[in-house]
Amino acid sequence: MSKEKILILILLISGFIINSCGYKIYTKADLPFQEVYLRNVENLTLEPGLQDKMRSIAYQKLIDNGFTITSSANRVIDIQITNYQLLTISELGYNTVEYQVVINVKTTVYDAKGNKLKEFNPGSPFITFFRTTRDLQSIIADKSLAIESLIQDICDDMMRRLIFEVEPKNEQQKDSSDE
C-alpha cells in the first residue's frame, strides 16, 4: 500500500474512534448562556482566604470555558463555602504526617431579576489528601497547594454543571418572554 492510502486509513480509523466514544468539542455558541456575573463568594468557615482563592479560580474557569464576565449579565452566580475541615489521617511519633482536606460548596444561579434558577453543591464534599513530615512552613505550603487543587476540582465540576445541566424549562421561557 502507498503512504497516502495508509495515512487516509489511519485518519478514517481515528475519526471513527473519536466519534464513536461520545467525545464532542463544544464551542462558545453551545453554551446555555454567554454572559455571567460572579457576584458573591462567601466563606462561611473559619479558614481565612478561601473566598479569595475560590473567586480567583472560579473567575478564571468561567473565562476558560468561554463565558463573558459582566455585571449586566442575565445569569448571576453566588458561591458559598459551607464547610472546611483539615483532618489528621496518620501520625508518626506524635507528628501528623498525612492530612485530609474536605470542602463543601453551594452554588446558586439567579436570573437578572434575582429569581433563583438553580442551586447545586458541586460534587460536595470534595476531598483531597497531602503528606508531609517537614517543618511547619512546609506543612502550610503543602496545605495551601492541596486547597488550591481542591478548589480547582470544585470549579471544574461547577463549570460542568453550569454548561451541561439544563435549567428548568419554565424559567427559560419566562426569561425569553421578558426580553
Global pTM reads 0.77
Q: What percent of the chain has pLDDT over 90?
A: 54
CA of residue 130 relative to chain centroid, distance: 20
The one-letter amino acid code at 167 reads: E
Is domain 31-178 in CATH 2.30.40.10, yes or no? no
pLDDT digits (tens, 9 = 90+) for 5-57: 888 888 888 877 777 766 666 776 678 888 999 999 999 999 999 999 999 99
Q: Is 35 exposed, middle or buried (0-12, 13-18, 19+ CB in 10 A)?
A: middle
Contacts of 96 (CB under 8 A, 6+ apart): 88, 89, 90
At 77, which helix (H) or strand (E)?
strand 75-92
User: By three-state DSSP, how is residue 87 classified?
Assistant: strand
168 dihedral zone (left: phi>0; alpha: psi -120 to 50; beta): beta
Low-confidence ranges of the chain (pLDDT < 70): 1, 21-25, 28-29, 124, 166-179
Cell of residue 141, nine digits: 505550603
The one-letter amino acid code at 174 reads: K
Q: What pLDDT is stored for residue 13 in this prediction?
A: 86
